Chains A and B, each alone.
Chain A
Amino acid sequence: MTTENTGTGNVANPDPGPLSTGSRMTGVLGGLCLIALGILVLFGLFLSPADSNQGDAVRIMYVHVPSATVAYFGCFLTTVGSAIYLWKKSQWWELVAYAGAEVAALFTALTLVTGMLWGRPTWGVFWVWDARLTSTAMLLLLLLGYLAVRRIDADYEVRAKRAAIVGLLLVPNVIIVRQSVQWWRTLHQPPTLFSDGLGSKIEGLMLFSLFTGFIAITMVFVWLLIHRFRLAWLEEQRDAQGLDAAIFERRAEGVPS
């Protein structure tokens, strides 16, 4: 049983609180995200030049590479959150892990799709069973597995513990994805940035566009992560409230009138 809170407040509790997962801080961050995405579109699609080898297909890289990077970061958060949950039974960290996995799954999927759309004009095919592509697809499957386990119909502790065990596998998988271009001969090119220390293989407006992509997509990632964390928090509060009400009703049934 759930109670409907209309948020109108009353004499005892005049402040209804926020009726969404938003706050002033996320509102400001959301506005900054829109500005950053606008700048990314301007530079990524219009102001940066075409690449001498890839042509205009390089413009897909300005969303593809940052998406992959934040997906890795989401996996890292999930593994850290899972480890802390298993160690300290912290619900806060468990929800961070859950939110991180959801957002990481989104960006891993976007990485795969944008990569395929880049591969078609560049390699001539949408997909090859290359080490980088295959390991990234496996990472997405692992994330979906985590989310499936986390949503099984069981007690919170049971699903949180099982999901956390799956969550521990994410960072090792990210290391495999990251290193796949070094460990095996692949069609996918090695890293463009930091391949030789802090050096870069691109420069000028193309480098600026890529960094704008990193900043914009990272801000969007943080915004989504905060909202998704609050959503997971609300789900757990609602479920706990429903459980309390069910126990109360059951006890009331046993009391003779």
Chain B
Amino acid sequence: MTNAIVLAALTDTWPYVIAGWVVAFGGIAAFALTTVLRGRRLSRQVPPEKRRWS
């Protein structure tokens, strides 16, 4: 019974689907977070007149 469940999980496509979405969303989130944090750190080293975003 247990073997059948494990086999079904391995042959099922859902683990790959979940992994694909986690990688995509996780990758985007990590990149966005790194960018925002670096931006906050760098902003303190640059005078205000050089960082006027519209």
Measured CB to CB, the residues of A under 8 A from B are 2-7, 13, 15-23, 25-26, 37, 41, 44-45, 54-57, 59-60, 63-64, 67, 103, 106, 109-110, 113-114, 117-118, 120-121, 220, 223-224, 227-228, 230-231, 233-235, 237-238, 241
Q: Which residues of A contact B19 (CB under 8 A)?
A: 117
**Chain B 15-37 interface 0/1 with A at a Cβ cutoff of 8 Å (1 = within):** 01101110111011001100110
Bound Cα distance A205, B15 (Å)? 22
CB pair B53–A113 under 8 Å, yes or no, is no
CB pair A16–B39 under 8 Å, yes or no, is no
Q: Which residues of A contact B54 (CB under 8 A)?
A: 23, 25
Which residue on B lies nearest to A103, using beta carbons? Answer: B31
Q: Top 10 nearest A-B pairs by Cβ distance?
A: A21-B39, A17-B48, A23-B53, A60-B20, A234-B42, A117-B20, A121-B13, A63-B24, A57-B13, A2-B45
Which applies to chain A's interface (DSSP): helix, strand, loop or mixed?
A: helix
**Chain B 43-54 interface 0/1 with A at a Cβ cutoff of 8 Å (1 = within):** 111111111111
CB pair B46–A5 under 8 Å, yes or no, is yes
Q: Which residues of A contact B48 (CB under 8 A)?
A: 5, 7, 13, 15-17
Contact sample, A vs B, 30 pairs, CB 8 Å cutoff: A2-B45, A3-B47, A4-B44, A4-B45, A7-B48, A17-B49, A18-B43, A20-B40, A20-B43, A22-B36, A26-B53, A45-B17, A56-B12, A56-B13, A64-B20, A64-B24, A106-B28, A106-B31, A109-B27, A113-B24, A114-B23, A121-B13, A224-B35, A227-B32, A231-B39, A234-B46, A238-B42, A241-B45, A241-B46, A241-B47
A15-B48, A110-B23 are known contacts. Are A224 and B16 too (CB-CB below 8 A)?
no
Measured CB to CB, the residues of B under 8 A from A are 12-14, 16-17, 19-21, 23-25, 27-28, 31-32, 35-36, 38-40, 42-54
Bound Cα distance A25, B53 (Å)? 9
CB pair A45–B35 under 8 Å, yes or no, is no
Q: Which residues of A contact B43 (CB under 8 A)?
A: 5, 7, 18-21, 234
Bound Cα distance A229, B26 (Å)? 21
Which residue on B lies nearest to A223, using beta carbons? Answer: B32
A2-B45, A13-B48, A227-B35 are known contacts. Are A45 and B13 too (CB-CB below 8 A)?
no
Bound Cα distance A223, B46 (Å)? 22
CB pair B39–A22 under 8 Å, yes or no, is yes
Give the residue of A23, A228, A237 whose beta carbon is less than 8 angstroms from that of B46: A237
A17-B52, A237-B51 are known contacts. Are A117 and B45 too (CB-CB below 8 A)?
no
A118-B16, A224-B32, A231-B39 are known contacts. Are A67 and B24 too (CB-CB below 8 A)?
yes
Bound Cα distance A110, B26 (Å)? 10
Bound Cα distance A45, B24 (Å)? 14
Apart from A59-B20, A60-B16: 14 A-B pairs, beta carbons within 8 A: A5-B43, A17-B49, A18-B53, A20-B36, A56-B12, A63-B21, A63-B24, A106-B27, A114-B24, A120-B16, A223-B32, A230-B53, A238-B45, A241-B47
